[in-house]
Amino acid sequence: MSQHTYTVSGMTCAHCVNSVTEEISELDGVTSVTVDLPSGAVTVTSTAPLDLSAVEAAVDEAGYRLIPEESVA
Ligand code: 9UX
């Protein structure tokens, strides 16, 4: 199993959380997605490491934006 926490900007309510969760859940190998709304932290568990570009596309599809890691740290 592989787990990674991403930061997503723009989510402000529980429906935003649902949209992001649904889109990311559709990616191959994803087994769980948990979102902390106040911080925008999205923790994704998958059977194999995910392509960042795929996660980024899923977040974009939901209508939000993945914050690059280097600007989070
Ligand atoms: Mo809630 Mo999120 O009304 O874009 S769905 S703010």
Tens of pLDDT, residues 4-36: 999 999 999 999 999 999 999 999 999 999 999
Sign of CA dihedral 38, 21, 44, 4: negative
* Of residues 70, 19, 71, the one with CA closest to residue 42: 19
Domain 2-71, what fold? Alpha-Beta Plaits (3.30.70)
CA distance 64 to 69: 16
User: How far does residue 1's CA lie from ligand 1's centre (Å)?
Assistant: 31
Tokens, residue 21: 């969760």
- Atom 1 in ligand 1: residue holding the nearest Cα: 13
Tokens, residue 34: 């948990």
Only one residue has tokens 């690059």, namely: 68
The pLDDT of 31-58, averaged and rounded, is 97
- Which ligand 1 atom is the nearest neighbour of the CA of 64? 4
pTM above 0.85, yes or no: yes
Give residue limits of the domains in the chain: 2-71
